[in-house]
Amino acid sequence: MKAASGPLGKIFNLVNKATSDEKEKTEAELPFAVMIFTLMAASGISPYDSWKKMRKLTFLPVFKKEADEVVRQVEVLGKDPLNVMYQRAEATQSKLYRNFLGGFVSSVRSGGKLVDYMKSQLKSIFELRYINMNRSIERIAALVEAYSVMLIVVLCTYILFVVFSSSSVMDLLSSTSISISPYMSYIIAFLIMPIMSLFFILIAHNMQKSAFPDLKDLYKKAIIFLTPAFAIIAIFAMVGSLQKAIRPLGLPEIAVIALIATSVPLAIQYYRIARINYNAEESMPSFIRDITESQKTGLSPEKSIVQATKRKDYGPFSKFLVLIRSQIEWGIPLRKTFENLRKEIRSWFVIVNFAMMVETIEIGGNSIQSLEILSEYSDKERELQVNRRTMLKPYILLAFMWSALIAITTTIVALTTTMMTGIVSNDLTAVATIAMQDQLRVFSVGIILQCWISGFFIGKISEGNFGAGFKISAMLAATAYLSLVLSQYLLAGTFTIVKPGGFT
């Protein structure tokens, strides 16, 4: 559909975008909301009381807001709960949510078994999640291909300016006194390519949601680390005397050292976060199942949790389970224990499952059946997330390939251009070589920076957050630099122009 123009068109487009975002958020939270309704129905909670309890679930903001509206209309306006749910079904933009509410209301009015309806809806929604996951991976694959094409197109343009930026080469080939400024190639390397990459990163951010929504402390530290790194690169780039003072290091070496030195500590911190949280995601379904089996023997919920925490094969997650056991044994309420765990664990999957487990235990009723449902579907959700990450891992290899190819291709074109000058006139060979070497140093920094930025795109694609990009960015920057050095070293004899270590 063609986008509307004019002031009214802009308003329409903004409203349409907001509606689309609301629909996506609703459908992202829907499986977990249906899971909670199923658990409450299995525990004997009425549909309206389920809505009232939903108001406490801050980790599902869309459905918390929806629950607030349902309760408001019932208790303030005096409407019938089923009529309110039917009206909410007509108002929502999500077809999945509309179908769920419509079936919910019909099941209650017809006197059907609500638990059976909820289970069938839950099964259907998880099947749809699997289908949607495959579709989203296809869209991500298309985005990566588009990003690769963008790099190729911009690289071709970049190479043209590498060729024409040497005034001595251009003068010789054109037999004129017209020289082409190298500043356009600098704009491409340091402005256009990063902006295009940031544009694709923004698209990836909207397509791929993070499993760890709270990484603000890592990103704040990244700003503190990266600001002086870029300042150092800029200072050495603008003050040529500083480069001479620290030879044999040159500008590319300074850039790659600064970027890697700042990325590695952040990558280590993210690795520690990911290791604990991915282990917690792996352990959570088994933990819930252990609690369920303990309750079947007649133990109380608290004693069942204490018994489950004594299992030895939970890995790094065990230290949190020890904390949970200690707090329960000291008589701290289960909900307070959950709040304390929430401060330590960043995985949204673990937080949601632990919260649903707490709600199920506190409700009472047929909690064993509810916990069995929770353990079954938490295991299915974990498998979905693991499969998703596994299917996206190969794109990391693609990033290393294009980083090496960009560096090698640029080096070959630069050396070829300089060699052509020598073929035409030996008198200009030395001048052209010096000019090309000076510009190749600057171009190399642009390539290293571009590959470093690409790491965040791949990190967002592969794991859903930018924290994963620090390790990949450092590795891609090192790959680009090594490719530049090795290509010059190996091709020096072939072109007989640039000595090994031509950066300096």
pLDDT tens digit sequence for 423-457 = 544 554 554 555 556 667 777 888 899 899 999 99
pLDDT number for residue 394:
83
pLDDT at 465 over 80: yes
Residue 11 confidence class, pLDDT cut points 50, 70, 90: very low
pLDDT number for residue 477:
92
- pLDDT tens per residue across span 335-393: 888 888 877 888 888 888 888 888 777 776 556 777 777 788 788 888 888 888 888 88
pTM of the model: 0.79
- How much is the mean pLDDT over the chain? 77
pLDDT number for residue 268:
93
CATH architecture, domain 278-389: Up-down Bundle (1.20)
Can you give the three-state secondary structure of 153-210, one letter per residue? HHHHHHHHHHHHCCHHHHHHHHCCCCCCCCHHHHHHHHHHHHHHHHHHHHHHHHHCCC
pLDDT at 63 over 50: yes
Q: Of all residues in the chain, what percent carry a pLDDT higher than 90?
A: 7
pLDDT number for residue 426:
52
Q: How far is CA 471 from CA 210, 265, 266, 458, in A?
A: 17, 9, 8, 11
Torsion, CA 156, CA 157, CA 162, CA 166, rounded to 10? 140
Residue type for position 171 = D
pLDDT number for residue 256:
92
**What is the number of other CB atoms lying within 10 angstroms of the CB of residue 171?**
18
Instruction: Give the span between the Cα atoms of 256 and 478, in whole angstroms.
Output: 7
Instruction: Give the span between the Cα atoms of 485 and 501, in whole angstroms.
Output: 6
Where, residue-wise, is CATH 1.20.81 in the chain? Answer: 278-389
What is the arithmetic mean of pLDDT over 46-56? 83
pLDDT number for residue 453:
92
pLDDT number for residue 270:
92
pLDDT number for residue 300:
79
